[in-house]
Structure 1
Amino acid sequence: MSDKDPHWYLDDSKPSLRMWIFSQMAMGAIYAMLVFFGVILFIFALIAISNILPEDPFAALETGTAIATALT
């Protein structure tokens, strides 16, 4: 019949379907990892900013007016 290998996609001399699938899945996993850690870092940045800010949003204004009245 035919001398051709029926499993050409398993051969190393031609483009491998398994390697293409693996590379596509690996790139998808890398993109998912980058998005995941990006979201985690964004959440931690928001937590850090919220810890730096005072609880009372008008506390900085009151401090400024208290210092101004104390100096005058």
Structure 2
Amino acid sequence: MNQTLSQCRRPERGPVVPEDVYIFFIGGADEPALLAVASRVAKLHGVPPGAFAVVTDDEADEYGQGLRVELASS
């Protein structure tokens, strides 16, 4: 499973981007398995409410396009 973590920082110009934003990329399994993993991660201690997954594929026109799936916390 491939994972990438990046933390957003405030840009010099433009909108304020929260500093505690984490983005994970996971793949290598079918959609139900990946959503199950994402749901378990959303329930870990320290993960704030509001986590969501974006289901997409490598043929999406832009980064972040796809079906947004809200993940339950705790």
TM-score (norm 2): 0.23
Larger Rg: 1
* Structure having the larger proportion of residues in strand: 2
* Structure having the larger proportion of residues in helix: 1
TM-score (norm 1): 0.23
